């Protein structure tokens, strides 16, 4: 497992924050000064704002569908409110757990998440032609959401250990390519069998980006990007599931009552909303036209009810959250925490990009949720736990004293 200590970052990589307080011991001749104790308040405020808006729109998008299916307009809203409150508690707990504990538990966390990834074939249930969920009574868990976090954790730890031993090793094929290739195959097999292409895309992109941030040679990364793109294209084109998604994306009008139904209804919702929207709760497409509008296509309902101007403002909130996450990662106290924070916030950015791309039919349908908005308790809990990890890192940042 290598050394348990974490690698301090080069001070040239750290942005100078405004507030300073506790002086830390010098490290190899450098005098380090810790930031003032406390979480990053702008980041926390943005998370809570997105959570509140998301919970509101779950109710607005779901009450017609809930009434029709469960004879209870508040069916999804009550559960989402319960999970939102619970997720705040998870956020608090995660922010209190020192990220250094995650460094020590990276491999066990990945092992458990990977086992759960295979459990879906034995304890899961088919839904829309895929097997991705484990059901425990009324609760459901999507293991791929846990795997996303555990992969970031594992890769961040591996790169940190490699930096401790010999920085030049990361530029070699043996240490800078083979372990990641093995990880891609290890995760790719169960995700392909489920099938879960969106999770494959996000996880492989996270590994690739963290490799770049960890110092893998650009020439190697370019070759891997080309090979990986061809492989993913082959998976899409040579599987019936992938081909149907491409056809529905390019020509949804050819199958308006089949695969093209959802993208067409989403575009109708966005288009009818116009600039100002029809008003909160006034969506027409949620009246059993857009299937399960509280899930992956909730952004279309937001556009219809609140208009393009609100949709742009919402995107800007996500942009601010991602920017603040980068700021925290840049000020992180060591290599591991920097990579961990960067990986988590990049995952959020990828999911927002893919979800909005799918809803606007700019990208083929991938079945990826919109963070803090799409209905679901397990995914919301995981997102908020990840935000708690970033907050924990934010209160332990330091800079070089000048």
Q: How confident is the model at residue 67 (pLDDT cuts 50, 70, 90)?
A: very high
Q: How confident is the model at residue 21 (pLDDT cuts 50, 70, 90)?
A: very low
Rounded mean pLDDT, 27-38: 50
Query: For residue range 276-294, what is the model confidence (pLDDT) as tens digits?
Result: 999 998 999 999 888 889 9
Residue 241 has pLDDT above 90, yes or no: no
The encoded tokens of residue 223 equal 């070759």
Angular region, 8: left φ>0, alpha ψ -120 to 50, beta rest = beta
Considering the entire predicted model, what is its pTM?
Answer: 0.87
Query: For residue range 298-322, what is the model confidence (pLDDT) as tens digits?
Result: 999 999 999 999 999 999 999 999 9
Q: How confident is the model at residue 27 (pLDDT cuts 50, 70, 90)?
A: very low
Q: How confident is the model at residue 2 (pLDDT cuts 50, 70, 90)?
A: very low
Residue 402 has pLDDT above 60, yes or no: no
Count of other CB atoms within 10 angstroms of residue 273 = 26
What whole-number distance in Å separates Cα of residue 108 and Cα of residue 1?
A: 12
pLDDT at residue 249, rounded to an integer: 81
Rounded mean pLDDT, 350-359: 94
Query: Residue 335: phi, psi to the nearest 5?
Result: -60, -45
Please name the residues in contact with 181: beta carbons below 8 A apart, sequence gap of 6 or more: none
The domain limits of the chain are 11-400
Query: For residue range 361-400, what is the model confidence (pLDDT) as tens digits?
Result: 998 887 789 999 999 888 999 999 999 999 999 988 765 4
3-state secondary structure 53-74: HHHHHHHHHHHHHHHHHHCCCC
pLDDT at residue 7, rounded to an integer: 60
- Residue whose C-alpha is closest to residue 157's, from 10, 14, 1: 1
CB 396 within 8 A of CB 102: no
Higher pLDDT, 69 or 1: 69
pLDDT at residue 218, rounded to an integer: 79
117 sits in which H/E element: helix 106-123
First to last CA, the chain: 35
Q: How confident is the model at residue 39 (pLDDT cuts 50, 70, 90)?
A: confident
pLDDT at residue 17, rounded to an integer: 38
pLDDT at residue 326, rounded to an integer: 95
Q: How confident is the model at residue 28 (pLDDT cuts 50, 70, 90)?
A: very low
Q: How confident is the model at residue 18 (pLDDT cuts 50, 70, 90)?
A: very low
What whole-number distance in Å separates Cα of residue 321 and Cα of residue 87?
A: 18
Residue 4 has pLDDT above 70, yes or no: no
Query: Residue 278: phi, psi to the nearest 5?
Result: -90, -10
Beta pairing partners, 23:
33
Query: For residue range 126-155, what is the model confidence (pLDDT) as tens digits?
Result: 766 677 788 776 677 889 999 999 999 999
Q: How confident is the model at residue 260 (pLDDT cuts 50, 70, 90)?
A: confident
**Mean pLDDT in the chain?**
84
DSSP state of 363: S
pLDDT at residue 177, rounded to an integer: 85
User: What proportion of the chain, given as a percentage, has pLDDT over 90?
Assistant: 53
């Amino acid at each position: 497992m290598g050394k348990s200590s974490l690698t301090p970052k080069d001070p040239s990589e750290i942005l100078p924050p405004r507030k300073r307080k506790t002086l830390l011991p010098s490290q190899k001749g450098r005098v380090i000064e810790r930031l003032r104790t406390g979480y990053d308040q702008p980041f926390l405020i943005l998370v809570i704002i997105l959570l509140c808006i998301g919970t509101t729109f779950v109710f607005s998008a779901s009450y017609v569908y809930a009434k029709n299916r469960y004879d209870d307009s508040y069916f999804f809203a009550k559960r989402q409110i319960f999970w939102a409150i619970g997720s705040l508690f998870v956020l608090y707990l995660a922010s209190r757990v020192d990220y250094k504990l995650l460094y020590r538990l990276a491999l066990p966390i990945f092992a458990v998440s990977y086992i759960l990834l295979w459990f879906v074939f034995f304890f899961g249930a088919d839904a829309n032609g895929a097997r991705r969920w484990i059901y425990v009574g009324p609760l459901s868990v999507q293991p791929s959401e846990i795997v996303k976090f555990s992969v970031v954790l594992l890769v961040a730890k591996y790169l940190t250990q490699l930096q401790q031993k010999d920085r030049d090793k990361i530029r070699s094929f043996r240490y800078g390519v083979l372990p990641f290739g093995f990880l891609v195959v290890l995760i790719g097999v169960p995700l392909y069998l489920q099938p879960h292409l969106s999770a494959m895309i996000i996880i492989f992109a996270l590994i690739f980006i963290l490799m770049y941030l960890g110092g893998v040679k650009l020439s190697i990364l370019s070759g891997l990007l080309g090979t990986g793109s061809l492989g993913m294209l082959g998976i899409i084109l040579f599987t019936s599931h992938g081909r149907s998604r491409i056809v529905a994306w390019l020509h949804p009008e050819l199958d308006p009552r089949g695969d093209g139904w959802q993208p067409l209804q989403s575009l109708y919702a966005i288009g009818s909303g116009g600039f100002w929207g029809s008003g909160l709760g006034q969506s027409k497409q949620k009246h059993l036209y857009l299937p399960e509008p509280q899930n992956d296509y909730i952004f279309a309902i937001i556009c219809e009810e609140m208009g393009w101007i609100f949709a742009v403002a919402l995107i800007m909130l996500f942009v601010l959250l991602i920017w603040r996450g980068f700021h925290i990662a840049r000020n992180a106290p060591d290599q591991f925490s920097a990579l961990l924070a960067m990986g988590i916030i990049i995952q959020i950015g990828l999911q927002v990009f893919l979800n909005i791309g799918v809803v606007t039919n700019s990208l083929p349908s991938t079945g990826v949720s919109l963070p803090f908005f799409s209905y679901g308790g397990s995914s919301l809990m995981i997102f908020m736990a990840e935000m708690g990890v970033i907050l924990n890192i934010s209160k332990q940042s330091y800079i070089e004293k000048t």
